[in-house]
Amino acid sequence: MKIPIFTGPTAVGKSDFAVEFAKQMDGEIVSIDSMQIYKHMDVGTSKVGKSERFGIPHHMIDILEPDEEFDVEKFRKMVIEIVEDIIKRGKRPILVGGSGLYVEAVKYGMFKGPSKDEKVRESLRKMEKENPGTLRRLLKAKDPIAYSKFDPNDMVRIIRALEVYIVSGKTISSLWSKREKDERFVLFILNIDRKKLYDRINKRVDNMFKNGFVKEVSTLLKMGFSKDLPSMKSIGYKEVVKYVDGSIELKECLDEIKKSTRHYAKRQLTWFKKYDDAMWLDLSNDKDEILVEVLKKLKWGDLL
């Protein structure tokens, strides 16, 4: 069975599209989002609410506390197990999410790198603490390809990339090409006009604050989750932390989140353009026409 992965830039409408698709296809949704795995982080991750799921089962959401460690390899293993269970039960798995590394891991497999070396990692963490920005500059010098693909705040992956280089002498990007692709997965990239996308991003950020984003972040801090956690350093959360502690005003907080999110969307689109085997779908087009194109690509002839 061919299995769809619906991805694309943040705020493009992936979740709504996937839910509608699942309703028509008797499917179950598997999230491949790097932030929706965390409990208590609903507003800032634009997590699909229970009422918005319309009874469609959603997997890989709310599976970790914000301070629990997780990596792409564990993520992929869990996703594959869930996908195979869905198929066994006679349903259709539908994957959706915009986290490029997670999308890539599921479809193109994992590379075989050296085991983690805690001494190396601790040394790198110390370097970054003493001179913030050092690791990003070092990664740019040693592995510019990986540097261009990682979020500037994603210290977990930046440290892993440098660890691979230090331990093996090989860049992590050079190992990516040695993975084994899972041919079952078909990649669909959802997109809309850039101006419309940016308008959606701005409105989403405004709605986050109307829906209690500040309260959510304040609650997380009161629960004891450190502002230095990778999850709390993601876009939106790190800015609201600064607002909560009085470092910036509300307007500056909003503007920073909107700007960072727009830049993130641009990086996502750049990332997805490298996939020659992906089908791009303009969500501004007729929904029935999009559905037919997707079914043809998946070769789900019984549903055409």
Question: Can you give the pLDDT at residue 297?
Answer: 94
Given a contact cutoff of 8 angstroms between Cβ atoms, the answer to whether 83 and 3 are in contact is yes
pLDDT bin (cut points 50, 70, 90) of residue 254 is very high
Given a contact cutoff of 8 angstroms between Cβ atoms, the answer to whether 2 and 299 are in contact is yes
Q: Round to the nearest angstrom and report the end-to-end CA distance of the chain.
A: 15
Please say if the pLDDT value at position 301 is more than 80: no
pLDDT bin (cut points 50, 70, 90) of residue 203 is very high
pLDDT digit string (tens) for 84-93?
999 999 999 9
Residues 6+ apart with CB under 8 A from 302: none
pLDDT digit string (tens) for 113-152?
888 899 999 999 999 999 999 999 999 999 999 998 787 8
pLDDT bin (cut points 50, 70, 90) of residue 303 is low
Given a contact cutoff of 8 angstroms between Cβ atoms, the answer to whether 192 and 13 are in contact is yes
Kindly report the average pLDDT of the chain as a whole number: 93
Q: What is the mean pLDDT of residues 250-258?
A: 98
Structure token digits, residue 96 = 């959706």
The kind and range of the H/E element at 251 are helix 250-272
Domains and CATH numbers, the chain: 3-110+179-303 (3.40.50.300), 118-176 (1.10.20.140)
pLDDT bin (cut points 50, 70, 90) of residue 156 is confident
The residue among 18, 20, 49 whose CA lies nearest residue 32 is 18
Q: What is the mean pLDDT of residues 254-273?
A: 94
Stated pTM of the model: 0.84
Residues 6+ apart with CB under 8 A from 84: none
DSSP string, 22-53: HHHHTEEEEE--SSTTBTT--TTTTPPPGGGG
Q: What is the mean pLDDT of residues 229-257?
A: 97
Local structure of 248: helix, strand or coil: coil
pLDDT digit string (tens) for 271-289?
899 888 999 999 999 999 9
Rounded to whole angstroms, how far apart are CA atoms 82 and 60? 9
Q: What is the mean pLDDT of residues 16-32?
A: 95
Percent of the chain with pLDDT over 90: 81
